[in-house]
Amino acid sequence: MTMKDIVKKRLLITGVSGLLGNNLAYCLKNTYDILGLYNAHGVEIEGIKTRKIELTSETAVEKIIEEFDPDIIIHCAAISDVDFCEDHQDLAQQVNVSGTRFLVNQALKNGAKFVYISTDLLYGDSPKNPLPEDFPVHPTNYYALTKYQGEREAARVPEALILRTNLFGWNIQNKFSLAEWVIHELSAGKRIQGFQDTYFSSIYTFELARIIDQAIEKDLKGIYNCGSSTFMSKNEFARRIADYFQLNKSCIQAISIDQAHLKAPRRKNLGLDVRKMEAALGRAFPTLEESIEKFYDDYQKGIPGIIKQNNFRKIFPVLDHIPYGRQSIMQEDIQAVVDVLKSNYLTQGPKIPEFENGLRDITTARHCVAVNSATSALHIACLAADIGPGDEVITTPITFVASANCIVYCGGKPVFADIDARTYNISTQEIEKKITERTKAVIPVHFAGQSCDMDAIRDMIRVKERAYGHRIYLIEDACHALGSFYKNTRVGSCAYSDMTTLSFHPVKHITTGEGGAVLTNDKGVWRKLCYLRSHGITSDPEEFVHKDTAFEPAQEKGEVPVKRPWYYEQTYLGFNYRITDMQCALGSSQLKKLDQFRQRRREIVNAYNEAFARTDGLTIPYEADAGDSNFHLYVLLFDFENMELNRTQLMLKLREYGVYSQVHYIPVYTQPFYQKTFATRWGDCPEAEHYYHRCLSLPLYSSMTDDDVGQVITAIRKLARMRSRV
């Protein structure tokens, strides 16, 4: 026996964070040396190497294939959301077709076996099931078209194995296969709809993994249907899942798929004739009933928890309670920081502009200055607006004290305008009442992630500027709102303002530990912000004042003067507000997951809203039509005056359930410093005070599990009871 006989074959699995990719890795990890590739959803699987890759980058694909040199490639990765593909056809084409082409090119180059996971949606519609491989292909939606194009790319590999399939199983991510969705919805007592006229031959993923392993061992090639050996309607499938898991089948409503109003067209007969592959492998495939039974048996053995436990281990920290907010740090974030620690620069290096450019790209602002905290960001923004003694700056009382403190740092006077009763944001009408000839700036705070009505605020300020004959700066405090939209424009674009500030505190959507940034579209303002961040110093020859001392005198006529290497000038009184490369490396890594974090928060918010919308004494957050909030906070209003528990009692009782909550915020003007310094008092902003006495922020962060969310909902429902009126 040679060493080659002992060494495991190298297997590359794309889409390892997806349902099939993960289950394949779990099932085959003892047989192969596996490298799993993922894109947006980082995972850790015991015994498996995983790496992030952008499959739409030909260079990245070539590099990773050269490094790993796989014997076999199983290509599972795809955008498989049918309706999403219909709306985002360019992206679907890039990922599902171009990504496959790049992999195929490398498989041809290094001689790897290529297994392509296709779909049962390729065939034309038929009045009967099941459909054999030679049935005419006629993709009915864009997803199916891209998968067929992917098949054609895969077929360029002479020994390629192409599997047309449909599957269900236990996901590693916080998302559901059809079977998991049925269990989740019925377990929550929700009513669901099952298509009674849509038939399929879906197969349990672990059964499919075993079939794929056998097909590779037999070096099978060509196109095969690979599913369960029988088919049933999706309505019947849901009912059988309910039977096994002892859930209420009466909550399943049988409907036609024609009633579903789906964006992309679907076929009704998706049954697959799998006899060709059964014959090739010399084995019978499980019936769909047997697939469901094995799915349930694995549930009984705790397989879902085993699959997910390694995935959840990737998110740090691990806590024994549910905080109101926390960071979600993944392995790639840690690696990004470690890479900087091993590099030449810990600060003032290349990771800072890289992070700033990422923020510019995500917000569409022209300029960005990253600093060591959001307070520093707001401070230099106020300085860049030339706020000083005698100036008034209007802001909201429902914010963290830093929003007002930065005005005071500059010698200005904060003026508090009351909030809107529905959005809890500063009221445009109240701003208008507070503006005087001494107003130098307005700082609207996008509370909890929902944008203020910037269009109305800007227009009103323009009128006041003409009336008073001077500029009034508009500075958005968007420390809660990275990833939010206003009128289809990204918050941070500065489309309505002079500057926008951001925060990267650990409870925000993305974190740098501590950190902040100022965005602007004004180059002059940007240059001043850069000065203020770093002691007011510049080393740019074009900005030097004392040119005679900055350069060596020319020795000969016509010689260009040489800048003295050590020379710099201080032209402003600046600060050391610099952020480090370590922080920015973490920020850049986190920024790649912003949309993922935002989507998960929205899922949690939807669950909360559904649970609390019709609960006596509770008011869920209002969302204005013009905005699309990232939901930094989920604030419920409680009718504490008529409840069994007051706010203190409720918060302490919630902790007994492992649920931590918070109050956002105490009106700033009620703080002793402001009362003493600016003669503010209770009663100045009635709406803010009414809000304050009723508000409570519930846990909301992207790594919350569905169990966490359920725990919060259960605790609130149990504890937030109205007093008896008898």
Residues annotated catalytic, as ranges: 508
Which two structure tokens, joined as six digits, stand for 392? 């008034």
Cβ contact 668:416 at 8 Å: yes
Q: CA separation (Å) from 259 to 128, 142, 622?
A: 21, 21, 31
Helix, strand, coil share of the chain (percent; to 5): 40, 20, 40
| Alpha carbons 285 and 227: distance in angstroms, whole number | 8
| Alpha carbons 210 and 28: distance in angstroms, whole number | 8
| DSSP structure class, residue 451 | P
What angle do the packed helices 402-409 and 374-384 form, to 10 degrees?
40
DSSP assignment of 542-611 equals GG-S-HHHHEEPPSSTTPPPEEPTT--EE-S---B-PPBHHHHHHHHHHHTTHHHHHHHHHHHHHHHHHH
| Alpha carbons 374 and 515: distance in angstroms, whole number | 6
Q: Exposure pattern of 398-428 as b/e (b: 16+ CB <10 Å)?
A: bbbbbbbbbbbbbebbbbbbbbbeebbbbbb
**Residue type for position 278:** E
**Residue type for position 494:** C
| Alpha carbons 650 and 31: distance in angstroms, whole number | 53
3-state DSSP call for residue 695?
strand
Burial of residue 437 (number of CB atoms within 10 Å: 0-12, 13-18, 19+) = exposed
Omega prior to 116 cis, within 30 of 0:
no
Which two structure tokens, joined as six digits, stand for 243? 């039977």
Which two structure tokens, joined as six digits, stand for 224? 């095969």
Nearest Cα residue to 492 out of 366, 634, 659, 618: 366
Cβ contact 124:136 at 8 Å: yes
Nearest Cα residue to 181 out of 121, 120, 247: 247
659 strand-pairing partners: 322
Omega prior to 317 cis, within 30 of 0:
yes
Q: CA separation (Å) from 527 to 351, 453, 531, 716?
A: 19, 28, 6, 49
What's phi and psi for 236, nearest 5 deg?
Answer: -65, -35
| Positions of E strands within 437-477 | 439-443, 473-477
Omega prior to 130 cis, within 30 of 0:
yes
Which two structure tokens, joined as six digits, stand for 666? 């105490």
What's phi and psi for 249, nearest 5 deg?
Answer: -70, -20
Cβ contact 291:237 at 8 Å: no
Q: Which long-range contacts (CB under 8 A, 24 or more apart) does 453-456 make?
A: 453/425, 453/428, 453/624, 453/626, 454/486, 454/495, 454/496, 454/497, 455/486, 455/487, 455/496, 455/626, 456/428
